[in-house]
């Protein structure tokens, strides 16, 4: 599989950033549920990427979202956090040889492994995000509700996106 | 030694990780309120255009609703105009000439956070200054907090730091409207004297004391009354009349120089 170019990633960052800031940030079901779809970019990082590059991309992705949401550092911290764990999490779900290059998706990982990978990544990210956002921690039940339902919402969105891109044969 | 260096080079990303995390956390927690304001304004001037673009898309979808609202408001104003006697009319004109109202569009808004802010597309250039009252056709929205050249950030009622003096319509006892998070349609009116007769369903309006707002701008209706812990004041639950999740155009109550000078004079005389 060929490697993604710098320009591809830059456009992906801008596209996902706009989607998040212009549309998704305004969704707030019952005051709790906000999908954080922008981490799709981190989900799709391939295994051949330099780890420092992974971290830097994630950091700037988060920071650009922060800039337009009035939350300095919040998304940057949580995005960098899962970007650090991403390579290890991929290896949890698939056996990789040293030189395998793999872009995580249902075609390369298998549907069930990919779903598991997605769920774990999203849960980690959302947990980090909502804990940081609610400091000083007050109401635990509300916090847990926010994490659980937002995770579900992002998960559903991503599964839908995955099935659409799969069926149209277009790989984002 | 060499292997140590190798180790460090090979794992340089770990250092990068901690560096980036520390940077983000400093951004997140190292900011005091003043720095946060600065961040908001700089972000504001940069993202104002994008916000406006987004608001434009939104407005396209809600234009009918917005129109209906404007027609309703016009009708109300016309009724008021016809009901007025001549002498009142003159008073009203004088009142209008001493203060000026600027209309602005809300380009960014949040209601679900603990500290909400909203951005409007009028700034210093249009004569907006911090401390001016913002209201919509339905009622009070908030107070201007920071102004940029073309945009301003408003501290809405739905922010823990907001406090607006309000009274029951037609009476003189007043209290302060505050919000402590949670339900974006309900705020609390505090420090209302215990003897004031407030009942569920009463209308709450602004006092006009501070000339931030004109007098009698609607705030909401009383949803519940209880005695505060110290027993001398009332805690009143207010259903806000203005739905802050659904704002299109708002009005800003700007002071003209006359009024400002008058206010300063009063302060000196005290």
Residue B49, chain A, CB below 8 Å: the answer is: no
Residue A70, chain B, CB below 8 Å: the answer is: yes
Evaluate if residue B41 carries a pLDDT over 80: no
Amino acid A75: pLDDT: 92
Asked if B145 and B131 touch (Cβ cutoff 8 Å), the reply is no
Amino acid A85: pLDDT: 92
CB < 8 Å to A52, chain B: 12-13, 16
Mutate to test the interface with B, among A34, A59, A70, A83 (most CBs of B within 10 A): A70
CA separation (Å) from B229 to B188, B191, B226? 14, 11, 9
Residue B112, chain A, CB below 8 Å: the answer is: yes
Amino acid B264: pLDDT: 72
- Kindly report the CATH number assigned to the domain that includes residue A70: 1.10.1760
Amino acid B83: pLDDT: 67
Q: Which residue has the higher pLDDT, A2 or B3?
A: B3
For domain B63-270, the question of CATH label 3.30.750.24 is answered with no
Q: What range defines the domain where residue A132 resides?
A: 6-167
Give the model confidence (pLDDT) of A92-115 as tens digits.
888 877 667 788 888 888 888 889
Decide: helix, strand or coil at residue B213: coil
Work out the pLDDT band at B94, boundaries 50, 70, 90. Answer: low
Work out the pLDDT band at B261, boundaries 50, 70, 90. Answer: low
Q: Which residue has the higher pLDDT, B230 or A59?
A: A59
A136 assigned to some structural domain: yes
Per-chain mean pLDDT for chain B: 78
Q: Which residues contact B73 (CB under 8 A, 6 or more apart)?
A: B137
A12 assigned to some structural domain: yes
How confident is the model over A142-150, as a mean pLDDT?
A: 87
Inter-chain contacts counted by CB atoms under 8 A, chains A and B? 70
> How many distinct structural domains can be found in chain A?
1
Q: Which residue has the higher pLDDT, B110 or A126?
A: A126
Residue B20, chain A, CB below 8 Å: the answer is: yes
Q: Closest partner residue to A76 among B17, B27, B111, by Cβ?
A: B27
Evaluate if residue A170 carries a pLDDT over 60: no
Q: Closest partner residue to B25 among A21, A67, A73, by Cβ?
A: A73
Amino acid B77: pLDDT: 79
CA separation (Å) from B39 to A75, B43, B119, B153? 15, 6, 14, 12
Q: Work out the minimum CA distance from A44 to partner chain B, whole angstroms.
A: 19
Amino acid B25: pLDDT: 86
Do the bridges between strand B133-135 and strand B140-147 make them parallel or antiparallel, or are there none, so unpaired?
antiparallel
Nearest CA in chain B to A19: B54
Evaluate if residue B85 carries a pLDDT over 70: no
Evaluate if residue A27 carries a pLDDT over 90: no
A16 assigned to some structural domain: yes
Q: Which two tokens stand for residue B130?
A: 């911090």
Work out the pLDDT band at A84, boundaries 50, 70, 90. Answer: very high
Terminus-to-terminus CA distance in chain B, angstroms?
A: 77
* Structural domain boundaries in chain B: 63-270
Terminus-to-terminus CA distance in chain A, angstroms?
A: 13
Work out the pLDDT band at A68, boundaries 50, 70, 90. Answer: confident
Q: Work out the minimum CA distance from B48 to partner chain A, whole angstroms.
A: 9
DSSP A22: I
Evaluate if residue A91 carries a pLDDT over 60: yes
Amino acid A78: pLDDT: 94
Give the model confidence (pLDDT) of B196-251 as tens digits.
788 888 888 888 776 788 888 888 889 888 887 777 788 888 998 888 877 878 88
Per-chain mean pLDDT for chain A: 84
Residue B169 φ/ψ region, left for φ over 0, alpha for ψ in the -120 to 50 degree band, beta for the rest: beta
Asked if B175 and B192 touch (Cβ cutoff 8 Å), the reply is yes
Q: Work out the minimum CA distance from A67 to partner chain B, whole angstroms.
A: 6
Count of CA atoms in the C-beta half-sphere (13 A) of A13: 20
A172 assigned to some structural domain: no
Work out the pLDDT band at A172, boundaries 50, 70, 90. Answer: very low
Amino acid A39: pLDDT: 92
A1 assigned to some structural domain: no
Which range scores top for mean pLDDT: A81-90, B75-84, B127-136?
A81-90
Q: Closest partner residue to B47 among A56, A68, A72, by Cβ?
A: A68
- ipTM for the whole complex: 0.82
Residues B153, B148: Cα–Cα separation, whole Å: 8
CB < 8 Å to B31, chain A: 72
Residue B54, chain A, CB below 8 Å: the answer is: yes
Amino acid A118: pLDDT: 92
CB atoms within 10 A of CB A133: 16
Q: Work out the minimum CA distance from B196 to partner chain A, whole angstroms.
A: 34
Choose the weakest-confidence range: B79-93, B95-109, B132-146: B79-93
């Amino acid at each position: 599989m060929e490697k993604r170019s710098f320009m591809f990633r830059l456009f992906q960052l801008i596209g996902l950033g706009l989607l998040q800031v212009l549309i998704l940030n305004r969704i707030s079901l019952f005051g709790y549920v906000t999908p954080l779809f922008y981490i799709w970019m981190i989900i799709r990082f391939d295994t051949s990427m330099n780890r420092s590059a992974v971290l830097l991309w994630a950091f700037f992705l988060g920071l650009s979202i922060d800039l337009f949401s009035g939350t300095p550092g919040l998304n940057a911290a949580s995005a960098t956090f899962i970007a650090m764990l991403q390579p290890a999490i991929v290896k949890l779900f698939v056996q990789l040889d040293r030189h395998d290059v793999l872009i995580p998706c249902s075609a390369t990982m298998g549907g069930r492994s990919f779903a598991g990978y997605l769920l774990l990544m999203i849960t980690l990210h959302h947990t980090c995000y909502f804990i940081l956002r609610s400091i000083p921690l007050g109401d635990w039940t509300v916090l847990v509700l926010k994490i659980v339902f937002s995770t579900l919402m992002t998960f559903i969105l991503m599964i839908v996106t995955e099935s659409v891109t799969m069926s149209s044969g277009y790989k984002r | 030694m060499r292997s140590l260096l190798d180790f460090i080079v090979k794992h340089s990303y770990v250092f990068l990780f901690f560096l980036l995390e520390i940077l983000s956390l400093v951004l997140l927690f190292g900011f005091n309120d003043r720095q946060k304001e600065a961040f908001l304004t700089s972000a504001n001037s940069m993202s104002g255009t994008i916000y406006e673009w987004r608001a434009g898309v939104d407005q396209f979808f809600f234009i009918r609703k917005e129109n209906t609202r404007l027609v309703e408001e016009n009708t109300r104003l016309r009724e008021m105009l016809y009901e007025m006697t001549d002498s009142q009319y003159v008073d009203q004109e004088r009142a209008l000439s001493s203060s000026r109202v600027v209309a602005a569009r809300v380009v960014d808004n949040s209601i679900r956070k603990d500290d909400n802010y909203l951005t409007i597309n009028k700034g210093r250039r249009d004569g907006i200054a911090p401390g001016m009252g913002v209201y919509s056709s339905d009622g009070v929205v908030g107070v201007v907090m920071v102004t940029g050249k073309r945009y301003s950030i408003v501290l809405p009622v739905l922010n823990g730091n907001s406090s607006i003096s309000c009274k029951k319509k037609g009476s003189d006892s007043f209290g302060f409207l505050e919000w402590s998070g949670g339900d974006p349609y309900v705020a609390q009116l505090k420090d209302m004297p215990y003897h004031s007769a407030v009942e569920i369903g009463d209308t709450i309006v602004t006092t006009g004391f501070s000339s931030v707002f004109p007098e009698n701008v609607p705030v909401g209706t009383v949803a519940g009354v209880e005695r505060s812990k110290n027993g001398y004041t009332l805690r009143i639950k207010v259903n806000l009349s203005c739905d802050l999740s659904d704002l299109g155009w708002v009005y800003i109550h700007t002071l003209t120089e006359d009024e400002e000078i008058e206010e300063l004079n009063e302060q000196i005389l005290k």
